[in-house]
Structure 1
Amino acid sequence: MNAVVKAAREQTLCPVCGDRFKEPKTLSCVHSFCKKCIADHIVKTTKNQSDPSAFNCPVCRKETPKPDNGPTLTWADHLQTNDALTSILEAFESGTNLRTCPHHSDKEIEFYCEDHSLSLCSWCATIAHKKCEGVVPIEEAAERRRIDSGRLANVLMEQSSHTENILNDRRSQLESLDRTEDDIKARLTNLRKKTMEALDALENKVINELMLKKNKETEVLRLEVETCEDILKDTRECLESFQESVQNEQPIDFVTSYLKQFEMFQNRQIALLNFSKNLKSVKVIFITDRSVDQILKQIKSLGTLSVEKTPSRYALPYAKSYTESRQSVLQTPRSISLLHRGSTSYRPMSRASIVKDSQSIPSYTSRPISFRHRAISTYSKASSVEPFRNKQESQNTSPTPRSGRFDGNKTTRDLTQSRPSADIMAKNGKLIQAKLRSTFDASTPDQNECSIEGATVLASGHVVLADSYHSSLKLFDQKYSYIGCIKFSTAPGDVTAFQDDEVIVCLPDTKQLKHEKLKNNKLIPGESLAVGDRCTSASYNNGILATCSGSTVHVFKREEGRWIRILLQKLDVDNLMYIAVDKEGERIVVTKNGYPNRPVLCLNKNGQKIWSFTHEEIRLPRGIAFFGDQILVVSWDQQRILQLNKEGKLVGAVVKDGIQWPWKLCISPLNDKLFVTQCYYRLSLKEKNTIKVFSLK
């Protein structure tokens, strides 16, 4: 059977490109080729012919008459499609491919590697995956997944119901947009009507005034015309009479007539002279009112259009994250714990790689803001990469553990697990004393799982937390009792205190920083600052606001009630995490992932590097803050909070116990309390939601 399948598979390969046929076309010689391959061949072989009438088969060289009178570029469209070959291709895609090894076409799938989430033949299982611990018969792998099929079905039904609700909501939004469009058009029509009515009234007023002035001047001009006509008529009559007297009258009569005509001439001349002195050229001038011109210049548009987006009632954290129960439904425990070593990636809430306890390798480009589960398809392109290359890429992209080269038969150190470490002795300065005083719960009855990515404390003692899981900013009073929250349409990042009663929160998806003011125990939305970058962390002190994206540091200065950008510093990295500004607003520190790269960098507000710090105790840094001239930084993988002095030297561990997977830290305005959030998918729900409060001295 395998030989038959192999022979059939060979018949599905194009002789030109060597790959499986795509839209197979048949020539008169019965040879078949991909549509694109034969089209390229036709164009290439006939390009030097002025009027080609045929082309040669790439295999047997037999001529095939042109199938159409159009250009050679379209001949392939008119060639006969090989329907039989198309049916064979469809059969392979729907059936045969699912049962044969993608690397050994003559071998059937018999095993499944839980370590890499790959289906294997006997050769792959005994050669490429011989060191894997999770190779089981395909039937056993299927049985494991059938056990959880009921729970998966429930989750799918829940997903279907939720999707239907969202679909109905989106359709109603479409209808709402249509209604809004009609309403705006009606308002514009009404505005146009009112404007035209006002213009018509003003126009009629000017026209009426014009008619009055015209009539008045017309009467004067008509009198002048009549006077001129009378003078002209009298002059012409005198001229005719005088000409007759010159020729016919007797001398004495002519002299008398001459004197009479001369006297009449002088009288007319005096009248004409007096008339001409008062002649005026008349025209009506219209000057547009200056205010009208100014108004027309000032009017740039009839109004402004903006899109207002408020959180939908279905804006749940469903698309951002799965709870641990859903994770267990979609993956078997073993496939989750070993998935990172395969070709399919999976990111937990803290973005550390999920790996086996004794053989885990951390991920170095992580924030918890956008956790998404990625469905695993054994036969997808991502999982069809050669096993040897997968293993090599995994070694190349991960840091080498200190215990030596990766070996499937040896136990390697897990950097995402808290490992034994010698106590760091206080040096390079006096060690800050921190003692756990209290804890409080960041969850609410309707938000039972949180991912606190930002935290800050106002001068009043109110605590503000940024929950990326629920896209909300939560407010707690001085006794850490929940007051309320404000929701966003997108997940927030970090949050920092601004002045005494105001905070600034990062909204990476909108590339903005948003002011929220505390008033009457409520957070009131304020101004927005467009950064133009997906900034995830921010810090404010002494008039200086610093914020960072994955690779860029932005610094703003407050002047006359508005923000002025004074620095845009692009760093040669893509994994910046958190940022902090000292109390003078002169120094900026920023954390970044990836030991042995320098995980802490100190700059001045002009972007000049002051110092950088690295140490094996801080491979995966997270939150950072100034305590006076000292610096506190979270070592997430070591589950500690370390202290650096102002020169960037390690002083010691301020907090070694009482925290699990610390993420963000902030210090109260009086420098007497330290607040620490925790984040990791392995934490219990209670610990995830717990904020630890330490006293400092």
Structure 2
Amino acid sequence: MDEEEDTRKMSATYVRSTKESTVDLSDITEEFLTCPICTEEFADPRMLPCLHSFCHHCISDYIVENTREVKSAKSFACPVCQANADAANPTNSVQTWADDLPVNNFIFGLIDAIQLRTGERQCDPCKKMDKSNMATIWCHQCGEAMCDSCTGLHNSMKYSTGHITSDIDEVKQTPVKTTQLRLQCPKHEAKFLDYYCSDHGEVLCTSCVTSSHRDCKSVQFVSEAATTLKHDGKYILDNLSKITEWSVRVMENRKQCLKDIQGAADSVKDQIKSIRNRVNAILDIQEKKMIAELKQHELEEAEQFEKEKNRCKEIISITRNANALLKNSLKHGTDTDVLSCMAKIKAATRKHEKEVRDLCKSLNTVQIEFREDDSINEMLARLAEEVGHFSVSRQTVNIPPSYHVRADTIFITQNEDDDEDDDVEHNMSKNSTPFGGKGSSASKISKPSHSTNKGPNSVRTSGKSSVDSKRRGSQNHNFKGQGHSSKPFLYSASARGSLKKGKIYSSQLLPIPSSRMKEDSDKTQETSSESTNCSPQPSAYRLSGTTRISGDISARVNYTPISPGKLPTVRKRAIKRALPDTTFVARTPNDRDNACLTGATFLSDGKIVLVDQVHRKIKLYDDMQRWVSEKVLSARPYDITEIAPFEIAVTIPKEKRVLLLYVRDPEISVSSSFQTGSKCWGISSSQGTIAVSCYTAPPCVKLMTRDGREIKTINADQYGHQLFFFPEYVAFDNIGETLYVTDRYKKSVISVTVRGEKRWESKPHSLKAPRGITVHGTRVYIAGSRSHNICAMTTMGEMLGDLIKQNLSSPHKVCLNSQGDTMLVTQHAVTLIPVEKNTVKLFKLQNDWRDNFTDTDSKISDIIE
């Protein structure tokens, strides 16, 4: 917790800097000075080839962990962008790879310079002797802060007598770069990097210049080279912004294409299922028909067997009775009795003997067999080989930049493929005609002409997209007269006059309306002003159907996907600050220590349930915030959500399970539980689906049913990129289609659909260490643990401002009641003052009636107005 407090203090220095220093440090974000792995201030920052920096020990541990299962590893992936980084010495142990990474001296010096201007600085020489004295003087040559006594010693020494010193208070008013030290050469001791070689792009010392760069023609002093290059800085920044925008457009196109191919795959699956169903239907009919016919044969034969069996029973009965009658009459009867019976018995014997003889002549043994048709085997053999075949067609998609490119310049890197269109190049060398006609300069771009004399190549651009309707936003262009190649190309003449072929995108070939460029630029600037890492929404919804909104207002609403280019715009309105309502203390008479409140939820009847980690308790309070009862669990719980009226679900990270409990005043009883397979933290529910944030390998959000069945695991976006580092709290939107997740390590808020498609990711400057999150209508509310505020955003990722800024310390969990007008906030930090410990605060929200809409209804306010 001490490290967490130190980090909080560090983040607060940027606020204090505006008071103690006139130097503008607002453009230096905490993210820029924070290691992405440990989320703490950089310690010995090392830079990768992709320009991302990390603490030395962090990147070293990361390399060891991620190459452990790789045999003969020679490289590793950047933890942030996944770019490949080759090891400087692959033969060395992976534990030493981080030692070969270059030190980011700029960040190292920037952190020291900011700390010098934003806080009290201790004397550096005294600190080395384990003393603690406040510094008053800064030496520009030594780069150290000194107290008065050390300053006197410093001025008395021969080597430092002529050093330039300044008061610390004066230094705080100077630009950051004035206190940055001159960098020493890593190859030559006590040599400073004072020269720059443009030929090799290296900063050098005098020894480097004389030893290794003696033949280089462009060696300058660093001041001269920097002055020249700084003029190019704004153009490079502009190009970077444009490339970013262009990449976003390509990414959105790929995202749409991914949806299209998934839709096509679903359609083919349905087609395959249809074939199966048709075959099954035919087999079902034939099965019923054959079984009915079999039953008929069975009944007919059984009926005959039954008749023969019954007749045999009759004969048996008669003959047995005659046998008994004759025996008794012979033994016990008179002669008269014997004579009268004998005649009748002889007649019956002859008659039944004849019946048995006749019956035996007509007896049959019946066998029922089935012989399948020969065509069945042929059909099955064909089905075993192939039911049908797949056809995959590809169509070129051309996505131009959103800014104009001169038609007489080649924009994309030149194509060095000499095998393509050799015939065109051959004709070019013979019959090329410059644009300017005869006598034009050879440095101008020339059009290739064909020997067929059909005229110069022509380029036709369609006004509307000719690509399949599924590929919205993409364009297809027809290029005629270019042989077998469908790609556009022009030729440029180099300084030597040789022609090189290259792809182009130009304002002539791909015209872009300036009005649309301005609109896109405005949107980009508006978004970037609010968040630092926000990507556009991939899908949205169109309005139709009939749904009751609120009061007497009715509107037509239905959720029909529309293209990324037609996203609904949530109208940005000034956020109204929440008003303090009441507070109550969550420490009960049975608690032995201060409570640690990491979870909370409102029940449907207005009661409040809190999670106390320290005491392993679930605490119940009535709608007047009076303690009712509590239940002690087997392990520490973390978060809680209501899944049904009077039923809650609680995450227990240590046991990797979710506990379901009934809350019937005043009793809290366990109903069931299910395992999550990994340590689970935040939890939210919507329409029978439970979302659980899990921190394992990989970190993910799992969608599960209440009986523990896993519906989906969300850990990567639609492009396979890792979504989370440590997903802590999660919240569903009002319709259960979108999840909003706070990531503890990335310090950002991530929006993702339940299908795993990333909508946006935002890391606002005003939100430090996001923790609890809740959603109501078009509003997302996030607790900033280290910025001590509750921020409000739109469901499209647009920052609205602070909902709560005053009377709040280290907010952790936030939740809303069913009406969305009361917010509960827990406070969690060991550094809370005594009066704030165990305190839960409630606030009243001043909601606009339009805040009750979902993001799919976002244009209704415009329609009604």
TM-score by length of 2: 0.33
Greater C-alpha Rg: 1
Does 1 or 2 have the higher relative contact order (CA < 8 Å, sep 6+)? 1
Using the size of structure 1 for normalisation, the TM-score is 0.41
